[in-house]
Amino acid sequence: MVKTLQNKGLTVFVLLYAIFNIGCKQEVKQELIEEEEIPTGYYTEKYRSQYHFTPEEKWMNDPNGLVYKDSLYHLFYQYYPDSTVWGPMHWGHAVSKDMMVWKHKPIALFPDENGFIFSGSAVVDHNNTSGFGTKDNPAMVAIFTYHDMEGEQAGKNDFQTQGIAYSLDNGESWTKYEKNPVIGNTGIKDFRDPKVFWNDKAEVWTMLLVAGDHLQIWNSPNLKEWEKVSEFGKETGAHGGVWECPDLFPLKIEGTDEVKWVLLISINPGAPNGGSGTQYFIGDFDGTTFTTDQVDHKWIDLGRDNYAGVTYNDAPNNERVFIGWMSNWDYARETPTEKWRSAMTVPRALTLRKVGNELSLFNYPLENFEKHVALAYPESRIKILPTRKRIIPLKYSNQSKTKFTLSVPNAQMYFRNKNGDSLSIDIDRDKKLVTLDRRKSGNVDFSDKFSPGVQQMKIPNLPDGPIEIVLLLDHSSLELFINGGQYVMTNQIFPNEFFRAITIINNSEEELVIEDFTEHKVERVWD
């Protein structure tokens, strides 16, 4: 039962609960939980993320133009300033010194006579190959897809072309190239999402373009004149939908000097759990051609809400930093927010590691994230006998990081609130499977595609022994990281009120002992 008390404007309630299982002795424990008042004001609307990037208002989708220059991380993004549903695309803009606290900037790129401004990338032209700037003041150059809506509506297949623009004041203002588009279209319906980087192997700029069901690779000496040099993927990878948002970069295999190249390709539909998802390939790049002997389909995230993610150009210390759009085209236009729509994932560091005989791409929150992890709420030593469970109160609820080590093969955990909403995660190392169920997580009826069933993630290559579990819970999302980011699931949730407890069930035949269960408060990043 719950007894409500009033104390200095804060609501404090006593949670009395039982830990039991059929045939097991009933145990009773009383906990005091502080229920925080929901603040009012800036960035406090219902479901508003408190430590994930969201636009102040209106529609947002893919991250674009991720680039670092003059001590600032730039985040451009697909933006429609007139509605909370998709419309004529612009490039929104925000900057940050640590990729957690963001400052909103004016819209960077607007539609023009060539079309809407679809997804793309940005580079710093340090050697002034384009002639747009100088070596002392190199231009920031944006490369993007023009989408001619009138051409599409007229039934043409050449309505997507590639354009460029440049800035000489670190992204504050932009000039579009007078000879746009720089790459035309010979009749490919889906021909978009240019990712550009400086190619040290060939000493040219390299552009990745998706062309329907495969990738094209183009090279240029100056960002203006481009030549197609190779293709990849017609017979490789998942092809359940259109390919989108490519990225290609080198990574050292951790603990060695060996370098492999990683190619990201987003696909919609066709993800393992339905709708949108991002696959990756590990292989080699010789300056013109990407090759791989990979047979299995690999996915950067097996949740339903991490799409169109790409990485930063020119990040400090050559760190490979990834941000994804935290949504899914199955229901993105229908999520139950009012002033704004959509958020980004937390920024993640990508690393390449060998586990057993297999190379895997790990993704895990940046170290900068920890600077915003504040108060810790450690639980005393937790012991759970076989077939029993433990209910642990959550002090910081939907603005928290929960971390612990799981030592038994099989366990289930679920978040609950007093409204009856629940979010369940089942980790079964015997079956090598994680199951996530958000069908009763709160407001799920806005789309019949949001939770048509449970989500599954295969975990075939986990090492033996205890594994780390990290759960990042924000007002409308949960990001699950297993074994330092070897396996990841990102999901939107819309609970009717904050979750107030997590229940851990020991489904193994041995005792579960958790020495390091800690719930941390994650600081709000919006002033």
**C-alpha to C-alpha distance for 158 and 118, rounded to whole angstroms:** 15
Q: Do 461 and 384 form a contact (C-beta atoms < 8 A)?
A: no
Question: Could you tell me which residues are beta bridge partners of residue 103?
Answer: 95
Q: Which residue is catalytic, options 62, 148, 305, 330?
A: 62
Alpha-carbon dihedral sign for residues 71, 278, 88, 154:
positive
Q: Do 243 and 236 form a contact (C-beta atoms < 8 A)?
A: no
**C-alpha to C-alpha distance for 368 and 314, rounded to whole angstroms:** 17
Buried b (16+ CB within 10 A) or exposed e, 285-295: beebebebeee
Question: Measured between alpha carbons, how far is residue 56 from residues 179, 281, 321, 470 in Å?
Answer: 34, 35, 23, 28
For residue 413, how many other CB atoms are within 10 A of its CB?
22
**C-alpha to C-alpha distance for 178 and 197, rounded to whole angstroms:** 22
Locate 130 and state its tokens: 């384009």
φ, ψ dihedrals at 12, nearest 5°: -120, 130
**C-alpha to C-alpha distance for 52 and 50, rounded to whole angstroms:** 6
Locate 402 and state its tokens: 């929960």
Locate 10 and state its tokens: 């804060």
Locate 458 and state its tokens: 């295969």
φ, ψ dihedrals at 142, nearest 5°: -100, 135
DSSP H helices, 307-404, are 367-370
Does residue 474 have an active-site annotation? no
**C-alpha to C-alpha distance for 1 and 63, rounded to whole angstroms:** 46
**C-alpha to C-alpha distance for 328 and 361, rounded to whole angstroms:** 22
Task: Report helix, strand or coil for 81.
Answer: coil
Question: Could you tell me which residues are beta bridge partners of residue 291?
Answer: 284
Closest listed residue to residue 93, CA positions, set 160, 167, 146: 167
For residue 86, how many other CB atoms are within 10 A of its CB?
16
**Half-sphere exposure (Cβ direction) of 123: Cα atoms closer than 13 Å:** 23
Active site residues: 62
